[in-house]
Structure 1
């Protein structure tokens, strides 16, 4: 999958949008399993911008986990704060009821 490349303005814009979001995917002690990747991919297709919560028992480094999850889902890791990861992937299908997030021009 093609991962989006985000500039500083786009990253800042997405961070501001993500501020009010609640995590929609949680990663537990099993780490990044195929089920977690599948759930994250579905959530990204539905929402484009999501938060992923890494649980207390998560085994591993947070930044590495964010990059791995982003790579496996074709997303961009926007931000890692504590145990929360923000991911962005543009929706692949058009849905008139749910407009795409328009990133600022460079």
Structure 2
């Protein structure tokens, strides 16, 4: 008895085998690759903490910085600066800022 090919991105042995897209009958020719990438990325993301901020969660001081200097891409340096500013403003201690930053790296 031959084993059937499954179109699931998850292989029984944990990601080492994925069937060719041509063997997966789907309407969208990119669906199989998309699902494989999505599942792969989700597995990678399980290994680290991810934090996100919405612009509605900015402090008044952070809004002022954005109004004066414009929007900028987030980086480890800008995140560290935000934590340091919050510690200086008394929102939390420097120890908490250091722990939050350590989780980002």
TM-score class, shorter-chain normalisation, is under 0.3
More helix by share: 2
What TM-score do the two structures reach when normalised by structure 2? 0.22
Q: Based on CA coordinates, which of the two structures has the bigger radius of gyration?
A: 2
More strand by share: 1
What TM-score do the two structures reach when normalised by structure 1? 0.22
**Higher relative contact order at CA 8 Å, sep ≥6: structure 1 or structure 2?**
1
